[in-house]
Amino acid sequence: MTTAIAQFMRELERKWDEHRDALLVHRDLKAALTHVVAEPSVQHIPAMTGARGRPAVERFYAQDFLPHLPSDLALTRISRTVDRFRLVDETMVSFTHDRVLPWLLPGAIPAHRRAEVLAITVVSFERGRIASQRILWDQASLSAQLGLPPLDGIRLVRPALRPGWTRSTASWR
């Protein structure tokens, strides 16, 4: 690997870290969107929540994600792999289910229980900007820790296969 490629990959890491911190630490939507492409996508695979396209992603973050972050959300990175096109983080996520979490547990009322789950985030880049995020976690383990029934995956997956999908707290748009 050349020095230039190594520096480029470190720059991708920096952009992802700034994006993630803007959302999860500072809860600053404008700062979070600084390093994304014109038509980004966000997919939380087990819950099939997220959005595609800048207006939909902004709406998803502003309405379904940022106001609904657990008060004690904590992330501990276990590993990171990065190349010129994507970054993959393996992260332990812990929180208390103290509020409605439409992006993580659509339709579930707060269980007021503590949970810890491994999450895998796959971030794709286009020309050095964040193009897509796919976040996966063990939904069955999370639901069991919180005393919730598992999600009906078939019901959730089918609408997400359509172009331009957006999953909001109320309905598919």
pLDDT bin (cut points 50, 70, 90) of residue 107 is: confident
**What is the mean pLDDT of the segment spanning 100-113?**
93
CA distances, 127 to each of 1, 37, 169 (Å): 19, 9, 32
pLDDT at 115: 97
65-96, pLDDT tens digit by residue? 999 999 999 999 999 999 999 999 999 999 99
Return the SS3 of 69.
coil
Q: How far apart, in whole angstroms, are the C-alpha atoms of residue 77 and residue 2? A: 26
pTM over 0.95: no
How many percent of the chain have pLDDT more than 70? Answer: 87
Indicate if the alpha-carbon torsion angle 50, 27, 12, 73 is positive or negative.
negative
Q: What domains are there in the chain, each with its CATH number?
A: 3-156 (3.10.450.50)
